[in-house]
A and B are shown apart, each in its own frame.
Chain A
Amino acid sequence: MSGPDVMFPEEQKLIASVCQRLHRDSNAKAVLLIGRDGQPIAEAGEVGEIDVTSLSSLTAGNVAATGGISKILREKDFTSQFHEGEKTHVHITLVAGRAILVVLFDERSSLGLVRLRVRKATEEMARIFEQVTRKAASQTGPSILNEITDADIDKLFND
């Protein structure tokens, strides 16, 4: 294992601002960024009534299943997906093989506009993830993992 995926506060802010800009520029209802294993990373827009945890897990499962289909068809990853609903549509894109960008939109926007804005946003996010990778590799300061003791873990499971 190459170690856990990480996200640092500085890059989290950058990612959040890209999500907010994408939300605004694409007239989307909401934008979500999800880790490849289904953990929510960032969000923007009207997410109040959405079960973000469930949506993230199901989206990651969906992307994994689509990746499985692409392998069977000997196709490189399907980098984006579009689900058309009656009122809400969903655009899903892979970001640098590390994360999944989900845009929820309605009649206020269009697939063309979302695609256009997503392209720019994913490029920016890919650069931020490269920065995270470099930082994680050179991390010399105390990591939470180094600070955890056996007693901490035991305490978590005391009834």
Chain B
Amino acid sequence: MSFINYSSREINCKLVYYGPGLGGKTTNLQFIYARTSPEAKGKMISLATETERTLFFDFLPLSLGEIRGFKTRFHLYTVPGQVFYDASRKLILKGVDGVVFVADSQNERMEANIESLENLRLNLTEQGYNLDKLPYIIQYNKRDLPNAAPLDELRQLLNPAHATEFEACATTGVGVFETLKAIAKSVLTELRRGGGGGG
């Protein structure tokens, strides 16, 4: 849930990057961290296993500038993608203001994408949110790989509601900031509108 502090004049929002394991959620945050000026970012935290798989979450605090004298601060989180960390994913979705679904474009990961998206919808519902009403962006990652599925197929399977979508290659940064800007803008617009996805 966003937090507005009229005393320190800050608007705080929580963004969650969701998606199947090894899809590039952490890589998105790492690229953002690497390309953001030191004064606009805090320390990036990764709670990962010894093999660098996300265990609980990654966290990156970002300042995006001021609106009407209020600093806008976005807290970016990733969830662990592996199926058996579902309890952790539910916790991280608590208080979410916007979701980025990072899909893995590779043909052989299509089932994992669908399963993760269904899991997202279910976990949001459990928290009282509705994915169709929440600020939500879908990112088709790994577009550079030779075994990437055609965009039309990905759209048909993963984005029937026509949410805003971006093609990306998180390792080189293609589409990473476009995705971030789109979700941040959508969250602020929704906040101003006074609505939300439930909760």
Write the residues of chain A forming the contact surface with B, with a CB cutoff of 8 angstroms. Answer: 1-9, 12-13, 35-39, 41, 51, 53-54, 57-58, 61, 64-65, 67-68, 144-148, 150, 152-157
Contacts and interface: CB of A to CB of B under 8 A. Distances in A.
A65 B192 CA distance: 31
B68 A148 contact: yes
Report the 6 A-B pairs with minimum CB-CB distance, sorted nearest first: A1-B196, A12-B7, A37-B95, A4-B2, A64-B91, A9-B7
A65 B3 contact: no
B38 interface: no
B188 A8 contact: no
Contacts of B14: 37-38
Contacts of A7: 3-7
Contact of B3 (A4, A9, A57): A4
A34 B95 CA distance: 14
A128 to B, nearest CB: 12
B134 to A, nearest CB: 9
Interface in B52-98: 56-57, 59, 61, 64-68, 70, 72-73, 75, 87-88, 90-92, 94-95
Contact of A145 (B1, B185, B194, B197): B194
A2 B75 CA distance: 20
A148 B67 contact: yes
Main secondary structure of the interface of B (DSSP, over half): mixed
A124 B85 CA distance: 38
Contacts, number: 124
A137 to B, nearest CB: 14
B150 interface: no
Given A4-B191, A36-B95, 9 more contacts: A4-B1, A4-B4, A12-B8, A39-B5, A57-B61, A64-B94, A150-B189, A153-B192, A157-B185
Nearest to B67: A152
Interface residues of B, number: 48
A38 B188 CA distance: 19
A35 B70 CA distance: 18
B42 interface: yes
Contacts of B2: 4-5
10 contacts: A1-B199, A5-B4, A7-B5, A37-B1, A51-B43, A54-B59, A145-B192, A147-B68, A154-B185, A157-B184
